[in-house]
């Protein structure tokens, strides 16, 4: 027999399923809920995943599965959490004008972007995260270089980056040494 539990009960069960199963699709999640006797549509599951802040992450082997951030979506991430995320996931940093570009391993940019967005980090208007790159937009009056320096300090990254106008040796050779 299937039941329609209250939203909070259903979302609690979804959290447990995401922690114990590699859920790669909303359809699979609907099936797992049904196996537990919980009737839910794909539309309902989609809304629940959005409200829970679930993200698709790449796991070893290349498959993508749903995962929940370590902190609830509406809570501000403490500085220690941001320090750990930046220190563990940011591989490279560059800046230009009022922008900072953070490079991460493939499939990890959303983790860094989400942590920055929820941190309320001073001077950050917002982020845009792709697969392995996060674009961080600095507030008016704050340069990309200054923001990159502050982010590097929090992350414990030394020699944090270069201006986009600086060419790496490989870029210079590709441009005929110009």
Q: Per-residue pLDDT tens for 68-78?
A: 876 454 455 56
Q: What is the DSSP string of 85-132?
A: HHHHH--EEEEETTEEEEE-STT-HHHHHHHHHHHT-TTEEEEEE-SS
- The full set of domains in the chain, from first to last, is 7-67 (1.10.10.10), 79-170 (3.30.1360.40)
Residue 130: its pLDDT value, please?
Answer: 93
Nearest to 38 by CA among 65, 68, 66, 8: 8
**% of residues, the chain, pLDDT over 90:** 45
Whole-structure pTM value: 0.54
Q: Per-residue pLDDT tens for 22-43?
A: 899 999 999 999 999 999 999 9
Spatial distance between the Cα atoms of 83 and 42, rounded to a whole number of angstroms: 36
């Amino acid at each position: 027999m299937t039941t329609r539990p209250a939203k909070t009960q259903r979302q609690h069960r979804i959290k447990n399923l995401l922690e114990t199963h590699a859920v790669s699709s909303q359809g699979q999640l609907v099936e797992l809920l049904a196996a537990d006797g919980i009737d839910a549509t794909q539309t309902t599951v989609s809304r629940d995943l959005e409200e829970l802040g679930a993200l698709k992450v790449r796991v070893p082997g290349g498959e993508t599965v749903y995962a929940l951030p370590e902190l609830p979506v509406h809570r501000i991430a403490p500085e220690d959490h941001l320090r750990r995320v930046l220190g563990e996931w940011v591989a490279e940093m560059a800046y230009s004008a009022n922008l900072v570009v953070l490079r991460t391993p493939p499939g990890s940019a959303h983790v860094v972007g989400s942590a920055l967005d929820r941190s309320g980090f001073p001077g950050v208007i917002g982020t845009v995260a792709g697969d392995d790159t996060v674009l961080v937009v600095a507030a008016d009056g704050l340069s990309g270089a200054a923001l990159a320096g502050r982010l590097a300090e929090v992350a414990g990254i030394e020699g944090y980056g270069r201006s986009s106008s600086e060419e790496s040796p490989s870029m210079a050779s590709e441009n005929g040494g110009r």
